[in-house]
A = this chain, B = another copy of it.
Amino acid sequence: MEDTKPISVQTLKRLPIYLNYLKSLKKDEVVYISATSIAHALGLNDVQVRKDLAAVSDKGKPKLGYVFAELIMDIESYLGYDNIHTSVLVGAGNLGRAFLCYHGFSTYNLEIVAAFDKDENVIGSNINKKQVLSLNKLKNLCERMKIKIGIITVPESEAQTVCDLLVESGVLAIWNFAPINLNVPEEVIVQNENIGSSLAILSQHLSEKLYK
């Protein structure tokens, strides 16, 4: 299933959702699972699900669907859950703390190796058994451990500086929670998590419901 055809971003976003749903089923009771039933459970179109699954597996059988355990493995393998992704987190404030304490990352085999901050008061402390280090140790650690993922949970005003530092340290993928557009070299990807965008959708819906 190596990418003969490039996979769409939308499909990529849905794969973890399918995986999560599959894992929520009792594995003893299910042998075969069809795209149709997944679609029904998640409120999606069945052709959409089938097409998405075709990106990771070609083992679907007419009338039956996919072998449950096999499908899980194929999705996990496609998403790279086979190998651990190590990352660093910069900004040990409230949000950063929440991430350091969040157990759910293990599902995705994402490991936060260490946290960094510039506040002398938190440097040297541990949060959920993870060390908070001074920012000036970032580059050395990333290079030594070949860290490729950086999580930015600092305030907007510091985000670009932190971003530059991460890029300089060899990080290739940045997960950005600061509400700002980061400038990065072409080879680095930035995934922005924007609270405002989500709220806009919610609030638009609300005003439709309430004032119309």
Q: Which residues of B contact A198 (CB under 8 A)?
A: 175, 191, 193
Could you show 18 A-B contacts with beta carbons less than 8 Å apart? Answer: A12-B204, A16-B194, A16-B196, A16-B199, A16-B200, A79-B204, A80-B204, A80-B207, A94-B101, A94-B102, A97-B97, A98-B98, A108-B195, A148-B206, A149-B206, A175-B198, A187-B209, A191-B202
Stretch of A17-25, A29-37, A137-145 at the chain-chain interface:
A17-25
Smallest CB separation, A85 vs chain B (Å):
6
Total interface residues in chain A, CB < 8 Å: 58
> Are B42 and A172 closer than 8 Å at their CB atoms?
no
| Residues of chain A in range 179-196 having any CB-CB distance to chain B below 8 Å | 179-181, 187, 189, 191, 193-196
Smallest CB separation, A191 vs chain B (Å):
5
A194-B13 contact, Cβ under 8 Å, with A41-B181, A173-B205, A203-B85: yes
